[in-house]
Amino acid sequence: MVIVGSDRIAANGDVANKIGTYSSAVVAKAHGIPFYVAAPTTTIDPDCPSGMDIPIEERSEDEVCFTWGWSDDGHFIRVRTTPESSSARNPAFDVTPAHLVAGIITEQGVVDASPEGIASVARQS
């Protein structure tokens, strides 16, 4: 199985977490590996209907357009890795749809990544 954390869980079971979580869920599904999310019930936002409603933090495009490394003359320098005319988006999180999540592990037990499962633990917290 795969177990990841979460920064926010929507009322329908969609999960926002660090970039790469969604792709891990897709690969797990493709290989028949259960994908679980471990998070405290405080992560659940019953007022957020779905992952589409979760605001995603955008970081500086410089993190994508530049890197640091050693030059031939021994200096540690910042180097552009994209064409100067290129821009970039740099979201800090991605959203994993509930249908890829086998269950959400909380301090109250494991619940389905569904509106009913989320509601069952949101009511108790």
SS (H, E, C) 47-105: CCCCHHHCCCCECCCHHHHEEEEECCCCCEEEEECCCCCCCCCCECEEEECHHHCCEEE
Contact 104, 13 (CB under 8 A): yes
Residue 7 annotated in active site? yes
Task: Sort residue 12 into left (φ over 0), alpha (ψ -120 to 50) or beta.
Answer: alpha
Of the candidates 7, 45, 53, 112, the residue annotated as catalytic is 7
The predicted structure's pLDDT at residue 59? 93
Distance CA 79, CA 86 (A): 14
- The closest alpha carbon to 60, from 91, 81, 85, 86, belongs to 91
The predicted structure's pLDDT at residue 125? 56
Over the chain (125 residues), the average pLDDT of each successive run of 10 is 97 97 98 98 95 93 94 96 92 96 96 95 71
The pair of structure tokens assigned to 100 is: 């890829």
The predicted structure's pLDDT at residue 76? 97
